[in-house]
Amino acid sequence: MNSPMFTRTSQQESAIQTNKVLRNTYALLSMTLLWSALVAGVSMAMNLPRPNIIIMLVGFYGLLFLTEKNRNNSMGLVFTFLFTGFLGYTTGPLIGAYVSADMGDLVVTALGGTALSFLAASAYALTTKRDLSMLGGLMLSLFVVLVVGMVASIFFQSPVLSLALSSLFIVFSTMAILMTTQGIIRGGETNYISATITLYVSIYNLFISLLSILGIMNDD
């Protein structure tokens, strides 16, 4: 039987490890967001074209795969910045299009909404005693719906479908933030690179989805 001293020491080590993962995750997330914003700014300033759907898919899933594959070594950090830089590059032309159309205020609103949503979801996950792992099954079902919806959107250019997809992406991304954050706190997520990527993609999807909704509501 473990002694009380050993139990307390184990609990302390677990708490230290959890705090380390949480600290490293938020530090890396901050750096990747700044890096992504910088790349987006350069992309927008240079008026670079947004890549087509093939390049988007290959770049996104290819770099995502390489990041996860190397998450336990130093190359994981390299691919993390390549991945977030790539998404920053793809975002630049989109923001530039809104600014060129005199809708820069929508970009600011989307950024504010994204920040508030992330902070609210993170705060809830950090303080709630409810087990949020139950969201996993719902997220899987929602993921299937999103994949089908995205395929349908290729053939049907409908504002209503786009609005529905963007709304579902917001729900899905919020769930991912909740589960990932609580996973770190409860020791279920021990790799800060994986946690950072999940949170970054969730924030990215929140921003793009909010921007899309605001654009549709603005009849553009």
Spell out the residues 6+ positions from residue 7 whose beta carbon is closer than 8 angstroms to its own: none
Query: Which residue, chain included where needed, has tokens 């949480």?
Result: 22
The secondary structure of residue 47, as a DSSP letter, is T
Q: Which amino acid is at 37?
A: A
For 174, list phi and psi in degrees, rounded to 5. -65, -40
Tokens of 66: 């390489």
Q: How many whole angstroms separate alpha carbon 93 and alpha carbon 218?
A: 19
Whole-prediction pTM value? 0.88
pLDDT by 10s per residue, the chain, length 220: 455 544 556 666 666 777 888 899 999 999 999 999 999 999 998 988 888 888 998 999 999 999 999 999 989 999 999 999 999 999 999 999 998 888 889 999 999 999 999 999 999 998 888 888 888 888 888 889 888 888 888 787 788 888 999 999 999 999 999 999 998 888 778 899 999 999 999 999 999 999 999 988 886 4
Spell out the residues 6+ positions from residue 71 whose beta carbon is closer than 8 angstroms to its own: 191, 193, 194
End-to-end Cα separation, the chain, in angstroms = 67
Determine the longest span between alpha carbons in the chain, in angstroms: 69
Angle between helical axes of 53-69 and 192-217 (0-180°, round to 10): 160
Q: How many whole angstroms separate alpha carbon 210 and alpha carbon 111?
A: 8
Question: CA separation (Å) from 8 to 12, 13, 129, 184, 207?
Answer: 6, 9, 21, 20, 43
